[in-house]
Amino acid sequence: MLIIDVVYLVAVMLLAFYGMNALLSVVLYAVHSKEAQPCPDVRETPAVTVQLPIYNEMYVLERLLEAVTNLRYPREHLHIQLLDDSTDATTDLADRLVSLYREQGLRIELIHRDNRVGFKGGALREGFEAASGEFIAIFDADFVPEPDFLERTIPYFLERENLGLVQTRWGHINGDYSGLTRAEAIALDGHFVVEQTARNRSGLFMNFNGTAGVWRKACIVAAGGWQDDTLCEDLDLSYRAQLQGWEFLYLPAVVAPAELPPQINAFKRQQFRWAKGSTQTALKLGGALLRTSDVPWYKRLQGLIHLTGYLVHPLMVILLLLTLPFLLTHSSVGGYVGFLSLVSFCPPLLYAVSQWALYRAEFPKRFSAFPLLVLLGTGVAWNNSRAVWEAFTGRKSQFMRTPKFHIERRQDTWDDNPYALSLDWNTVAELGLAAYAALAIGLALHARNYFIIPFLFLYMLSFGYVAALGVVHSASAIRFGRQRDANGNLGPTKPRGGVYSFK
């Protein structure tokens, strides 16, 4: 057997393994989904600090602060920290809003850093030093928590002394905005409805999702605090805390709405950060996870699968790149792909279950966007493969923020927004991979290897779809010839009636 046969077979087997794990998640969800999680009837109101890490969030800052300041919780027990690393006019707006809310009697402070040391993890760590609450709630700038958020989460801590984290489900402010956001919503629903429920209620490792959750301050301290040697400081802290024996709780019934990225380049940036940070965390904590004797082997295995989930993307790219040599050497690839097709139904089942659980009356309409998710999930494989490669090679990079545009209604626009991202070289690579798949289709037709053609056709459509969206969604930046910094942002000129105008 040639070396490419071995590599191809290993890639197929690993992809099938990850696919089967999706089926396991569905089974575990089915077993545990009906378990009740009643909120304890506890009347105490311990001190809570709400941390809001922001970086250049001009368009969503007011919405965020309005939601957080409307949380139903005794003001004498509520402490709000706006952790601002901004380099644009966001800081001026933040200072004005914080002063306004202070005048209304709220205990709110602006902590502005002139540098981004440690990025989000560094900001959380600095804020943590001044946090007075026994519990720490965290919301990213694109979230709009409901007024009863703390009332529905804090009581669980008071009933369970070893509870370190309560994570809630993400909702979608703009889930119906476009085909892209509908696909993103299905992807997140699969994670939050099925995967998180299955992991948590089966006693497996789960993760804090970086926002819309509440930590016990003592848990953060015991686990070693916020660290910034990965781009997923949330995942890193989650595993360190659970390895020390802290319990986590996931509450799918408590929903915190958030804005989905409406621009494909913003979505790819978010995916890159998650893929690289998850792989960095796997490299950092994978050994400790496997060596611990206090955790059953199956739980350790599931934890490793969880941490390395983004490996599916380089495996997908490897399969595509090796298909052409197979066809040129007249090797038979159909048997390998046939094995993979046996488990290809598992991820779609997971997403279908999540949509059925949330939107049973609208299931056909909601799940109709699933084909777009298939294209999106395959089409970002190159983007995420680069992220995984950078993690394995130890390449350092900045925490690249996901820009937010305050998109809530279908008539809202973002394409002329200064935060919109420009075209990058990933799009060229995606176009190249689409062309590569098209060439392989031609060779497969010539060789009458018809079994492989549907997979190649999926690759061609997926990379072409993501690349085309990248070009279309970057049109405004190209048209106006805007010059952006490393984070894709333009600097503001001056405020105009509370709204800032940009060059």
* Distance (Å, whole) CA 433 – CA 320: 8
Sign for the CA dihedral angle at 22, 28, 30, 33 comes to negative
Geometric angle at alpha carbon 252, from 249 and 257, rounded to 5°:
115
The β-bridge partners of 143 are 258
* Distance (Å, whole) CA 180 – CA 175: 9
Q: Can you list the positions of beta strands (E) in 92-182?
A: 108-112, 135-138, 163-172
Query: What are the backbone angles phi and psi of residue 242, rounded to the nearest 5°?
Result: -70, -30
Helix (H, G, I), strand (E, B) or coil at 215: strand
* Distance (Å, whole) CA 280 – CA 447: 42
Place of tokens 């919405």: 63
Query: What are the backbone angles phi and psi of residue 500, rounded to the nearest 5°?
Result: -95, 135
CB atoms within 10 A of CB 136: 23
Q: Which amino acid is at 471?
A: V
Domains of the chain: 29-261 (3.90.550.10)
pLDDT in the model for residue 500: 33
Enumerate residues 6+ apart whose C-beta is below 8 A from 123: 53, 83, 85, 111, 113, 116
Enumerate residues 6+ apart whose C-beta is below 8 A from 128: 51, 136, 217, 220, 225, 226
pLDDT in the model for residue 487: 47
Q: How far is CA 302 from CA 156, 286, 317, 364, in A?
A: 26, 11, 24, 32
pLDDT in tens, the chain (503 residues): 578 778 888 888 899 999 999 999 999 999 999 998 899 988 899 999 999 999 999 999 999 999 999 999 999 999 999 999 999 999 999 999 999 999 999 999 999 999 899 999 999 999 999 999 999 999 999 999 999 999 999 999 999 999 999 999 999 999 999 999 999 999 999 999 999 999 999 999 999 999 999 999 999 999 999 999 999 999 999 999 999 999 999 999 999 999 999 999 999 999 999 999 999 999 999 999 999 988 999 999 999 999 999 999 999 999 999 988 888 876 665 556 666 666 788 999 999 999 999 999 999 999 999 999 999 999 999 999 999 999 999 998 888 889 999 999 999 999 888 999 988 889 999 999 999 999 999 998 987 877 788 889 999 999 999 999 999 998 765 554 444 444 444 444 333 333 333 22
Place of tokens 């999540």: 354
Helix (H, G, I), strand (E, B) or coil at 10: helix
- To the nearest 10°, report the CA torsion of 400, 128, 241, 52: -50
pLDDT in the model for residue 483: 44
Cα-only R_g, the chain? 23
Helix H or strand E encompassing 61:
helix 61-69
Asked if 248 and 153 count as a contact pair (C-beta separation under 8 A), the reply is: no
DSSP secondary structure of 301-341:
HHHHHHHTGGGHHHHHHHHHHHHHHHHHTT---HHHHHHHH
Place of tokens 């420009």: 422
The active-site residue, picked from 84, 85, 140, 236, is 85
Helix H or strand E encompassing 139:
none
Q: How far is CA 107 from CA 16, 49, 74, 81, in A?
A: 52, 10, 11, 9
234 catalytic? Reply is: yes
The active-site residue, picked from 88, 189, 234, 236, is 234
CB atoms within 10 A of CB 263: 27
* Distance (Å, whole) CA 272 – CA 266: 10
pLDDT in the model for residue 432: 97
Helix (H, G, I), strand (E, B) or coil at 74: coil
Of 59, 80, 146, residue with least CA distance to 413: 59
pLDDT in the model for residue 336: 62
